[in-house]
Structure formats: C-alpha cells, structure tokens
Amino acid sequence: MDLGLVDVEWADADGGLRRSVLEEVARVAFESASPVRRFASYRGQRHFPGWYWTATTASLVGFESWLERDRLMLLDRDQRVVGLASQPFRVTWHGATRRISHTPDYFVRLEDGSGLVVDVRPADRVGPDDTVKFSATEAMCQAMGCWSYALVHEPEPVHMANVRWLSGYRHLRNRVDDVVGRLGEAFREPRRLVDGAKAAGDPLAVLPTLFHLLWCGDLTTELTVPLSDGSVIGRAEAGRG
C-alpha cells in the first residue's frame, strides 16, 4: 500500500459524503461520524444488524452481527473509551491489480485523545482477502501516528455473558446517589454480593445500583466466572474486574 495514495471517505453530520487523503484526516472526529454505509436488512440474511444504545455516547451505535454487538458492549464498558462510532469511514487504495476498499467496523476515541480502529471477525472467518485488508488498515493506522488498530475475534464466553447482564444496568437512571454511598460503605472490604446488598438496604432496591456500579467499574469482581450472589465484590481501589 502506498499510503500517499490512500483515500478516506466518510459521512458528515448531515449525511453528506466527504473524501480526503490519509494525511489530512487525523483531526476528523470520526467518533461522531454517521455510518458511511447503511446496515443491510433483508429476508433470510444470516447475520443480525441492529442498534445498541451506548452509555459512553448516550446515543445509538449500529452493529451488523451479534459478535459486533458484543464488542460494542465491551467498548462501552471500557473506561478508556470516550467516543465511538460504527462504519466510520471507507478507505480505498491501489492493490496489485485493482482498487481495494475496506470499511472498518468501529472507530474509538480514547481518553488520551488517540484513536483506535477496530475490525470484528470470527477467528475462523478471516480469509486471504480479509488478511490483506486488515493488514493494510493496520499499516494505515501506524502511519497516522495517533491511531492504533485491533482485529478482534470472539470474546471469552463467561466474561461476555457477565458483561451482557451488567449492560442492562448501564443507564444513569440506575445510579441512585444515596444507594451509591451505602454500597460504597458496604463493600469497603470485599464481601459476597448478597451480603453487601443486604447491608446496604433492601436487596431488590439496591441491586440495580450495585450492577450499575459493577458496569462502571466503581465496584469490581472477577468476571471470568459466572456472576452470582456469592461473587466477591470490592471497591475500585482493590482493582477492576
């Protein structure tokens, strides 16, 4: 790939397409870009497109498969992430015999101001053509200097199941201030989830806030084992789960 001949195309806030060369797009806020192409939906399709409301942006972000949705949840929970968008741009470059184009799945803005470009693909479905596109996109990100690249596959199943559960409590409506304070005291020292919930009040009333704090990372637990009443919960100072 000749990086000087890479074209980048994206949709602005009004939905109009814009195009520029690679070296001129470092300052574009791709985390706020509209999808550069539509999410296809048709009878009999094998993947499942949809929209996921992210707590990070308080807006809907698209996905084209359950695997992409799961990755969205993981990105949404990542405290380093301050912005993200799906299908943020299309890159086109000269291949050996033809023009090649690729649309990454996500653009992520990190808290340090850098960008992260993410492609999501099952590990057993990365073919030779995909490898060319992913490698070229990684080289493009390296050339930008302020971007990094990640090709991600299936997440660890138990961890992902726990994050899916916690995502149901991601909205700020679950953060009840006085309950936050009581839970902070209840889990000053690590203890079982059920014991801390009872110490903070009526478990039915405090559990939504407890799960919200686990989502945010204010409370932590080991998420590589199934979340249960017996999960040991601690405050964030003890390390995130």
What pLDDT band is residue 5 in, cutting at 50, 70 and 90?
Answer: confident
Cβ atoms of 175 and 142 within 8 Å: the answer is no
Q: Single out the residue of 75, 50, 70, 46 nearest to residue 62, CA to CA.
A: 50
Kindly report which listed range (12-21, 179-188, 222-231) carries the lowest average pLDDT score: 12-21
- 221 vs 134, 163, 167, 193, 212, CA distance in Å? 34, 12, 15, 9, 13
Mean pLDDT of 44-69: 90
Element (H, E) at 129: helix 128-144
What pLDDT band is residue 239 in, cutting at 50, 70 and 90?
Answer: very low
pLDDT of 95 above 90: no
User: What is the rounded distance in angstroms from the CA atom of residue 75 to the CA atom of residue 148?
Assistant: 15
Q: How many helices (H) and strands (E) does the chain have?
A: 6, 13
User: What is the rounded distance in angstroms from the CA atom of residue 139 to the CA atom of residue 110?
Assistant: 19
pLDDT of 72 above 90: yes
Write down the pLDDT at residue 23. 81
The tens digit of pLDDT for each residue in 107-140 reads 999 999 999 999 999 999 999 999 999 999 999 9
